[in-house]
Amino acid sequence: MVAQKIRIKDPSDFEKVVALSFKRQGYEITLPPANTKGYDIELRKDGKCIAVQVKNHKAKVRTAQVIKFQHFLELPMASKFTQGWFISATGFFKPALALVGAEKPENFGLGTFTTERDRVSWDYLNSKDGPEEEGNYGTTTGEDESETKYIGVFTCKGGVGKTTVAAHLAGAFALMGHDVILLDLDPDRNLRKLFLRDIDDEDASIFVPPINKNEIGTTITVLNSDEWNPKDYPEIKIIICDCSPVLSENPQSLVEKFDYCIIPTTLNPLGVSKHGDVIIRTFEHIRKRNSQTEMFALINNYQSAQGFAKKNQILRNHLKRSLSKYISKDPKCKFIDPDAAKIRNSTSLLYWGYHIVEGTQPQLAFKEHGGRCHPRTDFLQLAEYLEDHTTIDKLRQQGH
């Protein structure tokens, strides 16, 4: 008989049940304060101090989540732990198991709870004295999604960098300490392709190392709309949607949840008037399906080289005039002036995704060149602009 995976709808109860299981095995249990980052349960027994991370997701645990936990265990704040165990209710994607199997980290374990024997089955365990394999689980319900922020990146026109903006805005929020879900709503699934380690795998995710060495890194996970269930990811509060340019192809249930929308456009002589019409049409289309979302027009592929200042000023003034009449009637629509935030023309962004050709690991265009990285600077500035002009900043204040 094939073992069935445990499904417990309340993650906090899942943590408590896992803790109770280890308590029956003779471990001293400590549950950390709410919003503690890095681990969920502390175990002590025979001089060992073990950090336990538990995940009760519908999908299997992804590589980036395992890397994040490994990174936490290497930080000074985790120095008291002698071991680390990652316990999942639904197992691990093959790339995650392959990574751990190849590196063979010491004092580390990956375990999956099954209903067949009502206990944990160890997918990987490198420890001299591991735990007994038992468990006993119940089911409860209840989730609160009120703090989650949904951001849609949408335009009625293709070719303006929508997917690039969605991915790297997620990267900026990740650098600011947020785990992020990217929902790939575009039928072409380009976003998912750019995050896959192997074309045959389903593990579309990356680990984003922290800017400061002694902090915990974060993860970006790419899902299709049919894979998304907020109850599976209660700890993740920022959801960014790479939308289909055909509004009707995006799930109505998600469009209605958008707290904010980013509408990328470009600033060039031939297209500026036309793009003004596209932005207004985009505003109107989204507003028909969501009366509350705040919408922001953003300049992408901005030419910042010396000599463009006067031309850029003329072009953006023309674009602002084109949008002003509609924006005056809808105060929840805004044009982000390039002086406040813009995405500059960048070779790094132009060649983002080259890792697919090279066959290397997925990554964002945040690599430094000559000690600088314009995309990282620009997207962090955009994320900070959104924090300053929305309620996203409350997530940081609440410790998410």
Q: Looking at 126, 161, 182, which one is the last position of a domain?
A: 126
Amino acid at position 22, single letter: F
In this structure, the answer to whether residues 189 and 301 fall within a common structural domain is yes
Give the Cα separation of 372 and 191 in Å (integer). 25
Confidence tier at 220 by pLDDT (50, 70, 90): very high
Give the model's pLDDT for residue 396: 65
The CATH number assigned to the domain holding 393 equals 3.40.50.300
b/e map of 283-322 (b: 16 or more CB within 10 Å)? bebbbeebeebbbbbbbbbbbeeeeeeeebeebbeebeeb
The CATH number assigned to the domain holding 32 equals 3.40.1350.10
DSSP 328: H
Amino acid at position 125, single letter: L
In this structure, the answer to whether residues 178 and 67 fall within a common structural domain is no
In this structure, the answer to whether residues 85 and 228 fall within a common structural domain is no
Give the model's pLDDT for residue 130: 61
In this structure, the answer to whether residues 197 and 110 fall within a common structural domain is no
Amino acid at position 345, single letter: N
Confidence tier at 218 by pLDDT (50, 70, 90): very high
Which residues are CB-neighbours of 357 under 8 A, at least 6 positions away?
Answer: none
In this structure, the answer to whether residues 77 and 181 fall within a common structural domain is no
Please tell me the least confidently modeled range out of 142-146, 214-218, 381-385: 142-146
Give the model's pLDDT for residue 189: 85
Q: How many domains does the chain have?
A: 2
Q: What is the reported pTM?
A: 0.81
Give the Cα separation of 348 and 376 in Å (integer). 10
Give the model's pLDDT for residue 17: 82
Residue 135 lies in a domain: no
In this structure, the answer to whether residues 237 and 153 fall within a common structural domain is yes
In this structure, the answer to whether residues 273 and 342 fall within a common structural domain is yes
Percent of the residues in the chain that have a pLDDT greater than 70, as a whole number: 88
In this structure, the answer to whether residues 98 and 223 fall within a common structural domain is no
Give the Cα separation of 355 and 63 in Å (integer). 17
In this structure, the answer to whether residues 170 and 224 fall within a common structural domain is yes
Confidence tier at 131 by pLDDT (50, 70, 90): low
Amino acid at position 315, single letter: L
Give the Cα separation of 197 and 58 in Å (integer). 21
Terminal Cα distance for the chain, rounded: 41
Residue 143 lies in a domain: no
CB-hemisphere CA count at 13 Å for 343?
Answer: 32
Give the model's pLDDT for residue 155: 85
pLDDT digits over 57-75, tens only? 888 899 899 999 999 999 9
Give the model's pLDDT for residue 127: 72
Residue 111 lies in a domain: yes
Give the Cα separation of 344 and 335 in Å (integer). 16
Neighbours of 32 (CB within 10 A): 13
**CA 159, 160, 161, 166 torsion-angle sign:** negative
In this structure, the answer to whether residues 283 and 325 fall within a common structural domain is yes
pLDDT digits over 92-130, tens only? 988 788 788 878 899 999 998 765 555 788 889 987 656
In this structure, the answer to whether residues 160 and 118 fall within a common structural domain is no
CB 118 within 8 A of CB 135: yes
CB 375 within 8 A of CB 343: yes
Could you tell me the residue range of the domain that residue 22 belongs to? 11-126
- Output the CA angle 224-175-334, nearest 5 degrees: 75
Show the tokens assigned to 271. 């297209």
